[in-house]
Amino acid sequence: MNIKHFYDDALAQGSFAIESEGKVALVDPSRDIKPYLDFAKQYNAEIVAVFETHPHADFISSHLELQEKFGADIYVNEKVGVDYDFKHIGHGDEVKIGNATFRALFTPGHSPDHNSYLLLDENGIQKAVFTGDSLFVGDVGRPDLREGAGNIQVSRKELAGMMYDTVNDVFADLSDDTIVYPAHGAGSLCGKNMSSELSSTIANEKENNWAFQIKDKDKFVDAFLEGQSFIPKYFPNSVEVNRKGAASLEEAVKNADKKDGIEIPEGKLIIDTRAKEEFKKGHLKGAINIQNKEADKFETWLGSIVGPDEPYYLVAENQKDLEFAIYRAAKIGYEANLVAGVINPKGEIVSDPLVNLEDFKKNPDAYTIIDIRNKSEVDDGKFFDSAKNIPLPELRERASEIDVQKPVIVHCAGGYRSAAGFSIVKSILPNAKVYDLSDAVNEFK
């Protein structure tokens, strides 16, 4: 038996391939199937099964493509209510792939239709449990994403109670040395206290995960509901796309409309993916700057700033960068509302002045300071006492709250988000004097 852990840093998302006797099963595969095909080829094996823990909110899965191209069986709990052909697998049901056995564990709490999958070897020994978004390293999956999405919609308080039962009645009963393989790590918005470690054991989680420490159910529910982060705009849409099944990533990128040198109509939503330094030198009037840096979370911020039903244009420096931006947008299903990807766009070009940092240091009260970090970050401490907190995901809707009688300074914690926030404020309030504090915020920490 061979287990391969695949990890997408941008989405902090883990997926898994398990090979046994020339057959491969996948758990929670991402939309890009190439890594799984390479794995199968390495072992001269065929992909025969996909196990989905739940309809994911934060990325688009490739289960339908794997079924259509390779005849893979899709195993999922019938509570999900999918539109594609599937095989129901409920609590205690088992599927044998080669010499490996997958046993379904019903583990609601993050979602009301969530399965985990316990992997048993040929001797019936518990080897690993693929926990999806139920059990993370150091945390459990947040309970507030399914109140308005999915086949079954349950209140966050009910889901929190379900998670308490899942932790104490399901996971606590597994063997201590069973390896825990979750679908996410630190940086994912599917939890709030996740470790940077990508795997663990049941014994480690019993000892160190907060969810195992609170024995009173009411106190568990209160602790679980407190301090959850924002819900990106794209999350409910991803749930529905995954219930239906998505077309292949390769086709999505190939079929996206790509243009060179066209004029984008005035008033359209434009996402400029270039580095902030290039953006400020010159960009289309009204464009929003979400930088397509490989190490940053372009997908998350695109899906947090732009709604899944909003038509938009992507602008990139060159053809290669444009293809990469479309690829990343498609990972969250956002090729569906992309009007076109454009290089060398025509139209009114504007540039952005840089902040006079010395003047700001001497006269901070002469500026309206907008802190676009998440509320939880601001609660841990402000950089500027007079700053008004408008989190980046809310900025397009709340920009009218900004006092423009004074020059406006936008900041985050490191500069990536402030580039987007600055450009949003400038696009909505074009007559205001707006500056991006960017990396210089580090001088005030």
| Closest by Cα among 382, 416, 275 to 436 | 416
Measured CA to CA in angstroms, residue 412 lies from 276, 403, 440, 442 at distances of: 14, 18, 10, 10
pLDDT score for 186: 82
pLDDT score for 295: 79
Contacting residues for 213 by C-beta, under 8 A, at least 6 apart: none
pLDDT score for 75: 98
d(CA 159, CA 285): 45
Q: Which two tokens stand for residue 305?
A: 């700033």
pLDDT score for 11: 95
pLDDT score for 439: 85
Q: Which amino acid is at 111?
A: S
pLDDT score for 229: 84
With a cut of 70, list the residues of the chain below it in pLDDT. none
Residue pair 372/423 in contact (Cβ under 8 Å)? The answer is no
End-to-end CA distance of the chain, in Å?
50
Task: Work out the burial of residue 295: count CB atoms within 10 Å of its CB; fewer than 13 is exposed, 13-18 middle, 19 or more buried.
Answer: exposed
pLDDT score for 70: 97
Residue 386 CA to its chain's centroid (Å) = 32
